Amino acid sequence: MSSGGKGKAAMKRDKKDEEASGNIYANLDKTSVLQEARAFNETPINARKCSLILTKLLYIISQGEQIGRTEATEAFFAVTKLWQSKDANLRRLVYIVVKDLSTISDDVIIVTSSLTKDMTGREDIYRPAAIRALCRITDTGMLQTIERYMKQAIVDRNGAVASAALVSSTHLMKKSAEVVRRWANEVQESVSSDNHMVQYHALGLLYHIRVNDRLAVNKLVQKFSKNSLKSPYAICYLIRIAARLLEEDDQADSAIFTFIESCLRHKSEMVVYEAASAIVSLPNITASELSPAITVLQLFCSSPKAALRFAAVRTLNKVSIKHPNSVMSCNVDLEKLISDSNRSIATLAITTLLKTGRECTVEKLMTQISGFVNEISDEFKIVVVDAIRSLCGRYPKKHTVMLPFLAKMLRNDGSYDYKKAIVDTVIAIIEENPEAKGTGLAYLCEFIEDCEHETLSTRVLHLLGREAPRTNNPSSYIRYIYNRVILEKSKVRAAAVTALAKFGAQCVDLRESIKVLLKRCLLDSDDEVRDRATFYLNMLTTAPPTVISNFLLDGLQVSPSGLERAVLEYLRGNSFASPFDLKVVPVTSQPLSQPQKRVPTIDEALEAPKPAKKEPYAEKLAAIPDFAALGPLFKSSPRTALTESVAEYTVHLIKHTFANSVVLEFDCKNTLNDQLLLDVSIEVEDPEQEWTPRLSIPIQKLPYGEAQSSYIVLDFPDSGSISGTLAATLKFKVMDVDPTTGEPDSEDTYDDTYVLEEVDIAVSDSVQGFSKTSFNPAWDALTDETEREETFQLSSVSSIPEAVKKISEILGLAPCERSDRVPEGKTQHTTFLSGIFRGGFEVLAKATVAIDPHDNSINMNILIRSAEQVVVDLVVSAIV
Amino acid sequence: MLGFFRSFYCTNDTTCEEDSPNIYYQKESTSQRVIQEADSKVEPYNMGNFDNDPTSLYSVKGIVILDQDGNRVIGKYFDHAAFGTTKEQKAFEKSMFQKTSRNSSAEILLLDGVTCIYRSNVDLYMYVLGSSRENELILESVLNCLYDAISTVLRKNVEKKALVDAMDTCILILDEICDEGIIMETDPQAVVQRCALKGDEVMFSDQSFSQVGMSFIESANKQFKWSLLK
């Protein structure tokens, strides 16, 4: 702490000094500095004064000041005058200014000749800096004129010159790779330089020159792995190349691995760590190959150097995802690190331990954590909470330990993010583990009694409305919810009213009391709360069960952008005689607002969440005028291949279903560089003569390497069939072209065809699955008049989860209430499926799968209901 | 019909759950603005591949020296993808300083996927930033070189006042250590030698004993005068 005291003393002195002499850089202003730069034009040059001005200029650039193009160019031209000075310090600053201004100033190439002169001059102190500045301002054309000097510089005996040339060449690889490749011999020569950094830079550049030639890279690794390298940086780099070779090649030379392993015994810690970290990240590594690396990392865990401890723990943390058992031997060392003064190290140690911890050690670990959890920052606590969450996923039985622990953390003070992480975790545990539901909900109820964050309250209330009515004793939760209606702000009150209504909708015996409570809300001061109460009260009193289940329990299952477009079209149509029909809006399997999954901080920091795709095809199709009459898009199938991936022409199929037609989109790609395809179309033929193409849109021109789409429109046949198998052939005219230029050799063309795989149109193309949050009320709302029951044996699958997945795929229905999760070891399981049939008809199904313990055969009984008999029959036709 | 539809929409409390649609759109517009900013920015000279390619030579994302208030004294960023704008840089420095100034013994920190290795002395905080895949020990060697080189130039007097007085040399040191993210040199002696020093800035180790003694007496004299003036 003495440094802190010293710091304060220094600060005092500093302030005094600044008052007296003033920190010249403290309040610099861009205009005045540029103004001062005019002094560069004076003769003779005052080196000291000019150095100071240049430093000021560099200082304001390093502070992030933006300099305009004109200003920069003006300053740049002034700076060029300074070449007349012989002052070394000034000259060195000039090179840096040239580099910094090179991107923002015009005509920087005017200094080329001055720099070339310095680069080849006798002053060793100028040469490296001149090379770096010159390579920064040069372009491919100019580079050829200095090529000779660059080659000389690369093999120069002065390490600084060689390094500067090599590093600059590495930068140049991006824009003038062809020229730099010609210097390979010189680069190779300098790998054996005595200077450590030159070795490193030369090896790096050599690898980038050879990177596309696998054989050459192999040779390179073999050559230099035989102890010719002295620089630890170069060896680290060689390990990286070797590791990449092993990653990319399954049958890689075993000598490469031996080399990496031998580096574990190198005298430099840097190399040892690099080797260990390379070994643990290799794919398909065995436990015995892993153990020496783990031992090294374990040793590093007790190093006095924080960077080394950090590196070791971070690597162990990474390994623990794939090979938790191998890391277990380090658990004792990791436990010591929990109390490390460096927070990053302690966090990594905790998360690693939580990943490798066995079920029996969980309690011990939790006591350890609770010992220090109050002393750490919120940010760190969130990491701990995330780790607990992943542990709960692995050992669901341990919720009896975890939930009270989380509840205790929830009671303590903390920021919103911290509380949110805990609530997220509790909700995740409840959702994943039905056994924990009762306890978890009780803790959350207690939490909202005294919660200062509205968002979290509404979240918990929403969850209560969804989950609590299905528990054994729903009435016990109503008190907590109604308390919110009395005590909270309007936003929370509104959410509480909705939650109450959900109880009323699902628990018929509680409905009367709920109505009483809702009536009290009618006099609320807030519009939204009153509106909701009135709406729900009305629904609960008068609406039939179907309407209640549709409108109270299930959210709006439409795609937001689709809804926006449909409403817009309706308003533009200006004919309000017919009401807006929600059925024309495309449905989506994703809920209207999806809670973001928060990524646990440390371990998955690199994996950015991908944004959900929204109606990727709707816009593309809407741009084609022929499809305007088809109505809104109902569903697009996943992209499937109709050819081998290595075929001359590759074709992928996407099926778009509309109300009365199917559009087949064929993504065609030409992979032959000596052919230009013209009039590319696809011919489909139905052997049963039911499906006939109404319209075909060919591709006019398909050059090499491009992918374009051809379309076919099929109407659903009058016979009522909704499935079929069609033979498909690619038809086109070929024009031979020159592979390098793409210019046609002659105007002659010839016809050709290419047979594709068959196109299947299935029942699932007419069904859009979406998962209902409460299945049973919706099921009961549909009468059993239209019900169909089928029982059959499944021969193609061997396990219950597989059967559940298959049936939902075949029918195109989505599983509800997470009923697709099959508990392990069960011999019988019922899945609830739901979806919408083309035209807006709801389809529900209950599928019971059972496995026969004697012969492991799988039987399935399925019940399907819908409002329309025809729809049920059509869906059943998919499986029988 | 539309009126009914509105209240129907409101029943869906999932909208209150995390992001109400309004907030969602706001978010989108900020991201658009960021993209526009990035577009209007001057195209940086060289975009090194810092994070994805393990065989990239570009390993240092930035070198920064902050003072005791978290203000930048000198700084240079090389990863234009992660630290493209001054705003992003300042924001990162702020959160980095908050996390490191309180616990100055820690030496290393992982922040937003960036490994920050640091060292502090009196009123200066020196940081070397690298990708989280980079070998921490390599980054540490860069930091040690930076510290030792500056310490030699400032004659072991590593504090803000001295550094500001030798600003030009410190800029040269930074330039000698790292070029656009590629490590140039990690030997402090070599770095100091390559920076063209002014005549009076001779290295401590090269001074003869009498010179050291002289300068010591001189500084003691100054100190004495200073105490009299107080």
Please give the residue range of the domain that contains residue A411. Answer: 372-559
Contacts by A799-806, CB closer than 8 A, 24 or more apart = A799/A851, A799/A858, A800/A826, A800/A827, A800/A829, A800/A849, A800/A851, A800/A858, A803/A849, A803/A858, A803/A860, A804/A829, A804/A831, A804/A847, A804/A849
Element (H, E) at B119: strand B114-121
What residues are paired with A701 via a beta bridge?
A: A678
CATH number at residue A387: 1.25.10.10
The verdict on A797 and A659 lying in the same domain is no
pLDDT of residue A86: 83
Residues 6 or more apart whose CB falls under 8 angstroms from that of A576 comprise none
Given A719, A742, A761, the domain boundary residue is A761
The two tokens of residue A470 are 């299905």
In a domain, A237, yes or no: no
The CATH architecture to which B60-204 belongs is 2-Layer Sandwich (3.30)
Given A537, A559, A581, the domain boundary residue is A559
The verdict on A676 and A788 lying in the same domain is no
pLDDT of residue A555: 64
In a domain, A210, yes or no: no
In a domain, A473, yes or no: yes
For residue A827, the Cα-to-chain-centroid distance in whole angstroms is 37
What residues are paired with B131 via a beta bridge?
A: B114
Give the pLDDT confidence of B60-92 residue by residue, as tens digits. 999 999 998 889 999 999 988 888 888 889 999
The verdict on A778 and A852 lying in the same domain is yes
The verdict on A756 and A768 lying in the same domain is no
The verdict on A785 and A851 lying in the same domain is yes
CATH number at residue A686: 2.60.40.1480
Q: Show residues of chain B in contact with A606, CB under 8 Å.
A: 51, 113, 132
The verdict on A754 and A796 lying in the same domain is no
Confidence of residue B25 (pLDDT cuts 50, 70, 90): very low
In a domain, A142, yes or no: no
| Domain total of chain A | 3
The verdict on A738 and A782 lying in the same domain is no
Gap from B1 CA to chain A (nearest CA, Å): 7
pLDDT of residue A606: 34
Domain limits, chain B: 60-204
Q: Cα-flanking dihedrals φ and ψ of residue B216, to 5°?
A: -65, -45
| Chain B: residue whose CA lies nearest to A492 | B16
pLDDT of residue A198: 94
Q: Which residue has the higher pLDDT, A611 or B153?
A: B153
Name the CA radius of gyration of chain B, rounded: 24
| Chain A: residue whose CA lies nearest to B132 | A606
Gap from B168 CA to chain A (nearest CA, Å): 5
Flag whether pLDDT at B202 surpasses 80.
no
Contacts by A19-26, CB closer than 8 A, 24 or more apart = A23/B161, A23/B164, A24/A52, A24/A56, A24/B164, A25/A56, A25/A59, A25/B164, A25/B167
pLDDT of residue B223: 58
pLDDT of residue B217: 56
Element counts in chain A: helices (H) and strands (E) = 38, 17
| Contact at CB, B137 and A308, closer than 8 angstroms | yes
CATH number at residue A851: 3.30.310.10
Given A716, A735, A761, the domain boundary residue is A761
What is the number of other CB atoms lying within 10 angstroms of the CB of residue B101? Answer: 17
The verdict on A483 and A415 lying in the same domain is yes
Closest CA relative to residue B132, chosen from B40, B195, B210, B50: B50
In a domain, A733, yes or no: yes
Q: Show residues of chain A in contact with B183, CB under 8 Å.
A: 197, 200, 233
The answer to ipTM > 0.85 is: no
The verdict on A797 and A689 lying in the same domain is no
Q: Show residues of chain A in contact with B186, CB under 8 Å.
A: 197, 233
The verdict on A792 and A740 lying in the same domain is no
The verdict on A779 and A715 lying in the same domain is no
In a domain, A248, yes or no: no
Flag whether pLDDT at B227 surpasses 80.
no
| Chain A: residue whose CA lies nearest to B121 | A3
CA-based end-to-end distance of chain B? 85
The pLDDT averaged over each successive group of 10 residues in chain A (880 residues) is 45 45 73 84 84 90 86 88 86 90 84 88 87 89 87 92 94 88 92 91 93 87 85 94 85 81 92 93 84 92 90 89 81 82 81 77 76 70 79 79 85 83 88 83 88 87 86 86 84 89 84 88 88 89 76 68 78 77 65 44 36 58 77 79 80 85 86 83 84 85 83 83 84 83 78 86 82 77 79 80 82 79 77 83 86 80 84 79
The verdict on A541 and A395 lying in the same domain is yes
Element counts in chain B: helices (H) and strands (E) = 9, 7
Residues 6 or more apart whose CB falls under 8 angstroms from that of A600 comprise A351, A383, A386, A387, A389, A390
The two tokens of residue A682 are 């696809």
| Contact at CB, B184 and A197, closer than 8 angstroms | yes
pLDDT of residue B106: 63
Percentage of chain B surpassing pLDDT 70?
61
